[in-house]
Amino acid sequence: MGMNRNLAFFSGVTVAFVALAAVVAGWGIYSLNNAFESLHRHEISTKLQTINIARDVNYVSRLTRDIMLGADYEEDMEELEETAADIDNSFEALNRAAHDAGDRKLVEQARRDTMAFVDNCIQRMERISATPPSQRNRAFAAYKKEATPLAMKSRASFRAIIQNADLRFELANQQFSKTIQRTFTIIALAGALLTVFFQLSTRRYKERRMAEAALRKAHQELEEKITERTAELTATNSSLLEKIEELKTTEKILRESRDNAVQAGKLAVLGQMSAGISHEISQPLTAIHTFTDNAVSFLEKGRLPEALENLGVISRMTDRIAAIVSEIKSFSRKSPAERQRVSIVTAVNHAVMLVEPQRRQLNAVVAVQPFQETLQVWADVVRLEQVLVNLLRNGLDAVSDQPDKRVTVTVLQQQAEVLIMIQDSGPGIAEEVLPQLFESFVTTKPVGQGVGLGLAISQMIITELGGRLTARNPATGGAEFTIALEEVVDGQPQQPPE
């Protein structure tokens, strides 16, 4: 039933299309026929207008001849001028009816040739106006000799106009016949194409029905596969979620372990520096005790200026102890890494102050080369100071047995980075140790003086801050460690080169 309805629909569409093509073709033929008839009327009108002009030209010639043969001059001359005006008006009408520039050119040429003949006739008649009628016939021979070529030229122009109209009509007639033939050919081809289209549509409909059946079957199979695959993906997704949770837990443990390792490293450094720090604090305390006793004695004796001077020294000693305790508290504080703007000069000065007891104990020199004090990096101040303290302590350990005990700190600005280089005058790093220097439990210190975690923790901290920590043996001797961190300019971090 559905098949029959579709066939009926295609048949109706085909018949409607053929009927529409026939109507369009009929309307085209009708319009072309009207245009052809209009052209035919134009041809007839052009020929009639040209014949009328030719007739008036002949009449001008006859009036001229009559005047020369003794006719009434005044009457014929008046009629001659009226005829000339009629000829000019006829050319105006003929020029307005022209189809194109070619037609107008022929009309203008005929007008020039005809008016040349007419004007010649009028001028000749005006010249013989005073000649008696009996003597006018003498000028007739000269008139024929001069006017005949002009008249022939004018008639040739008329023939050109009529021949052009005939040619245009003949071409239009041929075009009309060709258009009719093409129209019927197109209609026949349209009918044949529609027939083929109908047959192909019928076959296509059958193929589509078969394809739809195959598609339904494939769709059913696909739904079954999707159901199976969905179940598999659900199970896989549940497994992935469990693994993600495990990964998050592992990352949390790793993060806590890393923070604990950093904190342990700081506490280990503080433990190693405890003796020196104790000495740095005990000295001011002993001095405070002594100056307090002296101040009491001066007050009992009424020596107020000396007592005030002692109290000033006590205040300065207290400030020194407070600064040392403040640095120790800040250094030992446990906190997550937080990147912010960090002043290089502040971080270097604090680190140098923390290793001051060890430097004094070794009688070594920690030389900070002059640099631009406004330099800032994108880092965490506490962790950067921890790395600097660790590197400075390693440098002091390296020069402890050297005659020239020197550790040099150099700060350079290079493109979008700030480089902090710490070089010692020690024996340098063994070549076989250098490739594994930053691995855990790798150390160049004697047994009992280090477990090999300091540099590994330092590199982990600098990497976490988005920088690099490298080591080398410079040609001048000793070892050199370089920290490269992202520079801060106008409050914004700069992108370092790749």
More confident residue, 103 or 386: 386
Q: How far apart are CA 409 and CA 423, in angstroms?
A: 7
344 and 197 in one domain? no
More confident residue, 451 or 402: 402
More confident residue, 145 or 378: 378
Question: For residue 375, what pLDDT is reported?
Answer: 92
Q: What is the mean pLDDT of the chain?
A: 76
344 and 203 in one domain? no
The tokens of 103 are what?
Answer: 């037609």
- The verdict on residue 196 lying in a domain is yes
350 and 203 in one domain? no
DSSP string, 263-318: HHHHHHHHHHHHHHHHHHHHHHHHHHHHHHHHHHHHHHTT-HHHHHHHHHHHHHHH
- The verdict on residue 81 lying in a domain is yes
- The verdict on residue 27 lying in a domain is yes
Question: For residue 154, what pLDDT is reported?
Answer: 75
Strands 488-489 and 376-379: unpaired
Residue 418 has pLDDT above 90, yes or no: yes
Q: How far apart are CA 224 and CA 245, in angstroms?
A: 32
Of 135-144, 227-236, 397-406, the range with the highest mean pLDDT is 397-406
CB contact burial 201-219 (16+ within 10 A = b; e otherwise): beeeeeeeeeeeeeeeeee
Q: How far apart are CA 407 and CA 334, in angstroms?
A: 28
Residue 405 has pLDDT above 80, yes or no: yes
Give how many domains the chain has, as a whole number: 2
Question: For residue 447, what pLDDT is reported?
Answer: 47
345 and 201 in one domain? no
Question: For residue 372, what pLDDT is reported?
Answer: 92
> For the segment 111-133, what is each residue's pLDDT rounded down to a tens digit?
788 887 788 777 777 777 766 76
Q: How far apart are CA 484 and CA 378, in angstroms?
A: 11
- The verdict on residue 115 lying in a domain is yes
Of 49-58, 193-202, 347-356, the range with the highest mean pLDDT is 347-356
Residue 376: left (phi > 0), alpha (psi -120 to 50), or beta? beta
Which residue carries 């400075």 as its tokens? 392
Mean pLDDT of 467-475: 93
More confident residue, 303 or 321: 303
Question: For residue 62, what pLDDT is reported?
Answer: 79
Q: 329 has which bridge partners?
A: none
Q: How far apart are CA 204 and CA 12, in angstroms?
A: 17
Mean pLDDT of 141-151: 70
Give the rounded percent of residues in the chain with a pLDDT score beyond 90.
Answer: 14
Which residue, 420, 260, 448, 434, is CA-closest to 352? 420
Give the rounded percent of residues in the chain with a pLDDT score beyond 70.
Answer: 69
**Residue that terminates a domain, selected from 179, 212, 245:** 212
Mean pLDDT of 7-20: 60
> For the segment 58-76, what is each residue's pLDDT rounded down to a tens digit?
877 777 777 777 667 778 7
**Residue that terminates a domain, selected from 191, 212, 233:** 212
Question: For residue 209, what pLDDT is reported?
Answer: 84
Q: How far apart are CA 229 and CA 396, in angstroms?
A: 65
Q: Within 13 A of 82's CA, how many CA atoms are on the CB side?
A: 7
Domain harbouring 396, CATH code: 3.30.565.10
- The verdict on residue 306 lying in a domain is no
Residue 170 has pLDDT above 50, yes or no: yes
64 and 197 in one domain? yes
Residue 333 has pLDDT above 50, yes or no: yes
More confident residue, 452 or 340: 340
205 and 343 in one domain? no
Question: For residue 245, what pLDDT is reported?
Answer: 80
**Which DSSP helix (H) or strand (E) runs through 483?**
strand 480-486
Q: How far apart are CA 147 and CA 87, in angstroms?
A: 17
pTM value?
0.41
- The verdict on residue 423 lying in a domain is yes
Residue 273 has pLDDT above 60, yes or no: no
Mean pLDDT of 140-150: 69
**Residue that terminates a domain, selected from 187, 212, 237:** 212
Which residue, 400, 454, 389, 450, is CA-closest to 422? 389
- The verdict on residue 217 lying in a domain is no
Query: Structural domain of residue 28, as residue ranges?
Result: 2-212
Question: For residue 3, what pLDDT is reported?
Answer: 47
- The verdict on residue 282 lying in a domain is no
